Amino acid sequence: MEANVSTHSGWEIDQFFRLLERHPSLIGQAVHRLLQENEDIRWSVVVGAYRNGQINLGKAAEFLGVPELELRDRFIDLGIPLRIGSADLAEARAEAEAVRTWFGSTADKDRS
C-alpha cells in the first residue's frame, strides 16, 4: 500500500503507510492517541466511519462522547443521512435474540 502525496511532507505519509505494513500496532497506537487529542480529526474519522457503515449511530456517539439523541440531531442539522434499523440479516437476528432474551428474563422476574 503506497501513497503518492505531492506536498513537502509526502515522504512522511508514505513512510506511515510502509510502517503500517511492517508494524501495524505502532500505527494503531499513533492513531488512537491522535483521535484522543484532536477533536476535529476524531469527528471526521467517526463521521466517515458512520457514513461508510463501519459503525452505527450508538457507537459513533460513544466515540464522540455525546448522547446518541444529540448526535442524531446534529447529523440531521448537518444533512448526514441517518441509518435506522439493522444493517443486515445477521444484525437483525442478533437484535431479535436480544429482545427475546430480555423479555424472557423480564417474564422470569414477573413470575417470582
Torsion over CA: 44, 40, 66, 80 (sign): negative
Q: Sketch the domain layout of the chain as residue ranges.
A: 85-112
How far, in Å, are 20, 24, 28, 82 from residue 15 at the CA level?
8, 12, 14, 36
70 CB burial (10 A radius; 0-12, 13-18, 19+): exposed
Alpha-carbon distance values, 93 to 97, 103, 111 (Å): 6, 15, 27
Along the 112 residues of the chain, how does pLDDT read in single tens digits? 444 545 557 898 899 899 999 999 999 999 999 999 999 999 999 999 999 999 989 999 999 999 999 999 999 999 999 987 666 777 777 777 877 888 876 555 666 5
Give CA–CA dist 47/35, Å, rounded.
Answer: 13
Predicted TM-score (pTM) of this structure: 0.63
